[in-house]
Structure formats: structure tokens, C-alpha cells
Amino acid sequence: CPYYLITRASLAATARLKKELDNCGLTDVKPAYLGVLMCLWQGAGMDDVLGKLGTEDEMKITDLGRCAGLEPSTMTGLLDRMEKDGLVHRA
């Protein structure tokens, strides 16, 4: 079944990525965060973008989610976990 093989490959790739992140000392960075972090790095400096989250000049969560390929409801929980891990700060 192709779905089974794709799922197994995805799980193996995620486990390998997590191991490599841990080896680099990036224990708070989870593979699920990478799409969001990459979108934050695109187009502007990280500090500039993070400073806009939750402000009048904010980057909309829907825009960030669209860039990362995630639904707004998924983004909310993901950003909550990223904030708890100290990777983002919402004003």
C-alpha cells in the first residue's frame, strides 16, 4: 500500500531529523517547527518578523500558516508550543 510506505518513510525521516537536531544541540527545535521557522527567515530578518507578531504591523498567523502549508487551527497550537519552547514570542 503506497500510503503505508509514505507514512513509514515520513516517520523515519522525522526520527533522523530529530536525532540530527539533538546532535547539534537544538533540542528545543522539533521537526514540526521547521516549516514555520523557514517561513519566518524568508523575506525579512528573524527579529523583524518576530517583532511583528501580535502587533498592529503584525504578520498574520494565516499568512505564516499559508507559507508553512498549515491550517490556522494547526498554527495556533504549533505557535503555542514554539512560544513555550522559547522559539517565538507573541506580543
pLDDT at 76 over 60: yes
Predicted confidence at residue 51, as pLDDT, reads 55
pTM over 0.85: no
Residue 56's domain comprises 27-84
Quick check: is 60 in a domain? yes
* 36 has pLDDT over 80: yes
**Residue 19 is placed in which grid cell?**
536525532
For residue 65, the SS3 value is helix
Which pLDDT does position 40 carry in this prediction? 79
Q: How far apart are CA 63 and CA 51, in angstroms?
A: 15
Q: Is 56 exposed, middle or buried (0-12, 13-18, 19+ CB in 10 A)?
A: exposed
| Alpha-carbon dihedral sign for residues 70, 34, 81, 62 | negative
What pLDDT is recorded for position 26? Answer: 86
Query: How many domains, the chain?
Result: 1
Instruction: Decide if 40 is inside a domain.
Output: yes
Per-residue model confidence (pLDDT) at position 52:
56
Q: Is 59 a member of any domain?
A: yes
Residue 80 lies in a domain: yes
